[in-house]
């Protein structure tokens, strides 16, 4: 059914909103990767994957908007094949799911929370990586960087966290119909 048909039937637009959160401890002998960008630092983020808190929060937000649960459901840390996976590959897979269900990114608003190192010099590169991974114009990506001003574990530099909110818009193509034995859904 077209958007006009849904609106006339009272269904309204099919926009979807999702939010995501991720946090990881910092540890020695790991590369620091945030937003798909390797950043010089004496420690990196712990994790089954590369620990990229920004990409994890973004993927989690998209999964939430799609009603598909969370990262652990799709990319469990118990899966040895995912050990050390680049989080960009996770976002690529989630972005493909978004497209298969007939959605594209309307916009993304994300925040990285870190006391150190200074991330502002890498902000535009992270924003462009996000745009590329999500197949969106960079103008649809807003990325903020903040600290907790030395408050709590994040403020002591023990870890980093990220928050993300996405708005998904329907594409002109209808999502692929899935047969589940009880008819189309």
Q: Could you report the per-residue pLDDT of 2-48, keeping only the tens digit for each?
A: 555 444 444 556 899 999 999 999 999 999 999 999 999 999 999 99
Predicted model pTM: 0.86
Residue 149 has pLDDT above 90, yes or no: yes
Category of 155 on φ-ψ map: left (φ > 0), alpha (ψ -120 to 50) or beta? alpha
Residue 108 has pLDDT above 70, yes or no: yes
Sign of the C-alpha dihedral computed for residues 67, 60, 174 and 2 taken in this order = positive
pLDDT at 13: 60
pLDDT at 183: 46
Domains of the chain: 15-170 (3.30.1330.50)
Residue at token pair 């004496």: 42
- Band (pLDDT 50/70/90 cuts) for residue 75 is very high
């Amino acid at each position: 059914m077209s958007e006009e048909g849904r609106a006339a039937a009272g269904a309204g637009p099919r926009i979807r909103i999702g939010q995501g959160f991720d946090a990881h401890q910092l540890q020695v002998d790991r590369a620091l990767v945030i937003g798909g960008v390797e950043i010089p630092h004496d420690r990196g983020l712990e994790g089954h994957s590369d620990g990229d808190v920004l990409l994890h929060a973004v993927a989690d937000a998209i999964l939430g908007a799609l009603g598909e649960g969370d990262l652990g459901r799709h990319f469990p840390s118990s899966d040895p094949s995912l050990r050390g996976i680049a989080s960009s590959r996770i976002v690529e897979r989630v972005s493909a799911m978004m497209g298969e269900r007939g959605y594209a990114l309307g916009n993304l608003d994300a925040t990285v929370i870190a006391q150190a190192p200074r991330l502002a010099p890498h902000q535009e590169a992270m924003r462009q990586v996000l745009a590329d991974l999500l197949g969106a114009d960079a103008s649809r990506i807003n990325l903020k960087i903040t600290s907790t001003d030395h408050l709590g574990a994040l403020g002591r530099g023990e870890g980093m966290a990220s928050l993300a909110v996405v708005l998904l818009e329907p594409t002109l193509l209808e999502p692929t119909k899935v047969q589940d034995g009880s008819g189309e859904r």
